[in-house]
A and B are shown apart, each in its own frame.
Chain A
Amino acid sequence: MNTILKKAVLPYCKGCGHDLVARNTAAALEQMGTDPLDVIVVTDIGCHGIIDGCLNTHTVHGLHGRSVAIGAGMAMGLDGQAKKIIVFIGDGGSTIGLQHILEAARLNLDMTVVVHNNMLYGMTGGQTSGLTPCGFRTTTSSEGNPWTGYDLCALAHTSGAALTSRVTGMGQISGQLREAFETPGFSLVEVIEICPSYGVRLNPGKKLRQIIEESGRLPGRWVNNREPFLIKQGEKTGNLLEELEAIKVDHKSPPGKPVSIVVSGSAGEGIQLAAGIMATAAVRSGCHVTQKGSYPVTVGVGFSTAEVIISPRPVIFHGIDIPDVVVVTSGDGLAHCKRRIKAMKRGTVFADTSLELPETGAAVVRQDFRSAGIRSACLFALFRMSADTGIISLGTLHRTVLESRLSPKVPVDKIMEMVKG
Chain B
Amino acid sequence: MQKATEKQTVIVDGSRLVTEAMARAGADAFIGYPITPANLLYQYSGRRMPLFLPAPDEITALQWMSGLAATGKIPVTATSFPGFALMIESINMAYMMELPMVIVLVQRLGPATGTATCGAQGDLGLLRGMISGGYQLPVLCGDGFEGSWRLSSLAVQIAARLRTPVVYLTSKEEMMTRKSFNLALLDDISAAEVPMYTGKDPYRSYDKAGKGVPPFLPVGNNRWQVRLNASTHDRDGILQHSTREALDNTMRLQDKAPGHIDQFTRYEYDREEGASTLVISYGITAGAAREAVYNIRESGKKVSLLVPGTILPVPPGYYDITDRYERVVVAEENTVGQLAGILFGGRLPGKVHTVGAAGRMIVSDEIKREVLI
Contact = CB atoms under 8 A, between A and B. Distances in A.
Interface in B57-112: 57, 59-60, 63-73, 89-90, 93, 97
B191 interface: no
- Residue with the highest number of chain B CB atoms closer than 10 Å, among A35, A99, A245, A296: A245
B183 A241 contact: yes
Contact of A241 (B10, B224, B360): B10
A316 B239 contact: no
Contact of A73 (B5, B57, B65, B173): B65
A358 B252 CA distance: 63
Interface in A235-288: 235-237, 239-249, 276, 279-280, 282-283, 287-288
Contact residue range for chain A?
Answer: 35 or more
A249 B173 CA distance: 26
A231 B53 CA distance: 9
The dominant DSSP class at the A interface is mixed
Contacts of A103: 56, 60
Contacts of B71: 73-74, 77-78
Given A234-B46, A276-B178, A290-B178, A245 B1 contact: yes
Given A40-B220, A317-B363, 11 more contacts: A38-B220, A61-B239, A66-B93, A73-B68, A73-B70, A240-B48, A241-B6, A247-B9, A247-B11, A290-B179, A319-B287
Interface string B100-141: 000000000000000111000000000000000000000000
A316 B44 contact: no
- Residue with the highest number of chain B CB atoms closer than 10 Å, among A50, A60, A237: A60
Contacts of B6: 241
6 contacts: A38-B220, A59-B237, A74-B68, A74-B219, A77-B71, A317-B291
A237 B176 CA distance: 21
Interface string A299-339: 00000000000000001111101000000000000000000
Interface residues of B, number: 84
B101 to A, nearest CB: 10
Nearest to A40: B219
A293 interface: yes
Contact of B60 (A56, A100, A244, A247): A100
Contacts of B198: none
A236 B44 CA distance: 10
Contacts of A196: none
A291 B117 CA distance: 15
Contacts of A70: 63-64, 66-67, 70
A241 B68 CA distance: 27
A288 B182 CA distance: 10
B11 A317 contact: no
A297 interface: yes
B117 A295 contact: yes
A239 B115 CA distance: 32
Contacts of A241: 4, 6, 10, 12, 16-17, 20, 183
A57 interface: yes
A9 B324 CA distance: 64
The dominant DSSP class at the B interface is mixed
Contacts of A72: 60, 63-64, 67
B299 interface: no
Which 7 A-B pairs rank lowest in CB-CB distance, beginning with the nearest?
A: A73-B67, A77-B71, A69-B63, A317-B287, A319-B361, A73-B64, A74-B67
Given A62-B230, A69-B63, A276-B11, A240 B180 contact: no
Given A70-B70, A75-B67, A279-B180, A297 B288 contact: no
Interface string B38-58: 000000101110111100110
Contacts of A316: 287, 290-291, 294
A53 interface: yes
A218 B44 CA distance: 48
A287 B294 CA distance: 20
B43 to A, nearest CB: 10
Interface in B192-223: 219-223
Contacts of B190: none
A241 B225 CA distance: 42
A286 B66 CA distance: 47
Nearest to B364: A317
Nearest to A234: B46
B238 interface: yes
